[in-house]
Structure 1
């Protein structure tokens, strides 16, 4: 594959060489044919050709310069994608140093949380602007507010304004900003003015006499155009929020154990729950920071409305919409809450009405890979010009997409130029110059137009890559998991390829009884339990891997790629691989994996045998829903209660469950004896159903058509209104069940909103089909007409 430099040189040098050689050969060809005309005519025509060549060369030089700029942009883009590992390393998060304790209970948010953006625009032909007539840039949307700039020639000065227009404001709203106005001229000439301004009463602000008009024309116009920029930092907003779904005020005092203060708003929340969702909150509230001992912690630098919606999503509500998704994603990224980022990504993928450009910007800023790939595929399908490669993903494609088209254009230009010149010389045409100019101008225009298309696409790619690189550079080093966090969420990479490894050390193997199986512990991966076994049989080591789906249908299968490994001392390793489909059989392995004597002699370490099995799941059928988060012993340090369902233990937060369910509130904080116990048994329910129910309470998108009825049953049983709403939303918006089945579920589990929705759906269907509900229609008894 060619390097970036080779692409750059290969495109630019070949084009310049082709242009020069092509024009010289045209002159030589025409000059050699001047024997057909008089000497004076030949001299005159030669002078004309030299003049024409110089004019054409000047135009081609301009195009060449534009090509150089394009090649530089392409080189930059390719370079940024060339070493993903390096970029990935740069995107790691910085560890939290718990040894640095705060002297007070106030947390300062870093500049990463600040809402900042920049407006850029080039106003063309500024010298000919009509006086007192405003000229505007395009509206741009940032943080649910539209922004644009305008300039004006007034009283011999340049007036420069920045406008804002909230998309869904209340009657009273305000946006406190720090503004930086900038005019950029040639030779690095820049004029900058700054001001703090609060939008609200007025929707625009700027400088009436930003610059003397004559001075601007003389020193800051470039080819008649004026480049202006406005950097905006939002420091505070009021009145821009949407309707809130749940409260975190003093009414939640009895189901909270910490108060978070954002400006003058207090949020009553659960330490354990926030710690289970966020490694940052875990370090802050349960670690060695001084805040862990405080009952009230102040968070600075964030907006209370944004934080309220962020908490609503954490607490399982469907609080994301187009007006706040960017704000919520910002806080999710800042506090390292993968579940909330996933919810933002799901919303942008499935429900958002934002443009693909806005979605790509959010995906790039917060590293939402699935959303970014979808946006890029949409852009490739609709934006990329047909005359270059569809994706421009590799150096070869860039090289071919630019070089081949330009070579073709230059060759075509030269061939037509030669024909035109020879025809004109032979005819002794006195208007030779005009004819040649006419024949070539069209080609120059065509080439210029194609370059504009390429430049426009390069600009889009550059903007995407620059934003991505900025995001990666600003990422912090990963938090030390051994000290601060347990990863409760599915890794983005593991969503694509389901891979895991089983490890076990079998002890005192030399004394194993022959033909007796020895097992490792069961481990759960991707909603399936797995374990290994070894056996001394027929002077060989037998090695098996077992699987046991947790909630399979009657027919199920798991297609796998298996790697069996025995690890001895001094780096001795035996590896065997096989592709196997579990289903008919729940185990697979090798009867004669290794000679038993050889294994004892070379692979036992202190009498113990280390075995590993790497499993990659390539396809599954008939399995239950994959679990999204853990509630097992790994969550012990961020829980204060254990709920036991049959033989499964769930490590949870009392205060959080009490805030979600009146039944749990009474059970865990009331006069029941369970309120004084650290381990409570819940009878009569299924552990898998309870797991999905907890996932919904903890904010995950865990409901599907398989488990929605089970989750609704538990939501009704424990009076968990968030789970009730999530079931209703799923059944109304996503479920493939029939209206009749939805009505039965609504009736059985008291889902009143769903019941009304079903009635309206049935009534609408009846009207559309122009028939009445009769006694034969099974829906009649459900509607209670």
Structure 2
């Protein structure tokens, strides 16, 4: 999807207490500086499901033409979905009053008197709010585009520190530049932020020209080919240039200028049946997070497997990892191959992404050096709040397809 996409996930407890004619709305979640919420209702033997735009009307008229997938997810991975498109132009909710029969809801989707609802939304067009309009879809093959970004505060970079440009839409896909200081060298990556959570099989073959440009016109370059697909998101240069040479020849006013020229040679994109799930949590009271304390968020059963997100503040970094909480069993070996995207998302829409592809055991997968804590505070935290997300594609499971799991309680939560 192009445009501005976002994910909302909520676990609704005590669903049996919802009586005919009742409505329930979740707390507001801010995405791209717009408050949104999920709402459910029970009417005439059906579950209603709506996405609410909570932005207040003002003198300047605004509209958000939004396409969204509404999903009801069972712990065993079964899901029920509907796709809706609506132009929001006032505070209102829109969706389906008869999303699924209450009988089928209770039979297939209620676990421990709770349900999980998700909305994957995309603001495909808007007026009166965002400064930049997103372009219409464009042809994909044998086309090129240029990304430019000035990275600041180079002298303050510590080992393993990352920084990102804001994503830009080119040919209906979001792209960004990432740099990292690693082993006293500069690494440069091109990231395609196309969502792995979309239930499509896609790949993008590119020729990439990375350039570091000095104020006097001198440049250092490297060219390579890369294939972006559901299982990966980055084309990295490796050790692009030593940090000493970077500081000597390319730093001006504590900044560097990076350009990435991308030629798209081939794209494949087709629907497919995938086992995907998402975790999302808005973290509040961030000022209370303690150094070197591992915080575990709520555990959620997906495809009969318990998963959680962990965050850690350590050595000046924020760490974010996905953990599979399934325990090893002596009588039966198992493995899970996954592709995943971990995201730190600001309520104003800015995001940072870390991707991986692993065969999973009960261990953490992610990074303890996602971004620096200073970067988090300066660019992602709004009103002591930010959002963490995981979007996961289960590629292959062995030894566990027929098992059932019991949901566990999380060990540590931020209050």
TM above 0.5: no
- Higher relative helix content: 1
Q: Which has the higher contact order (CA 8 A, sep 6+)?
A: 2
- Higher relative strand content: 2
TM-score by length of 1: 0.22
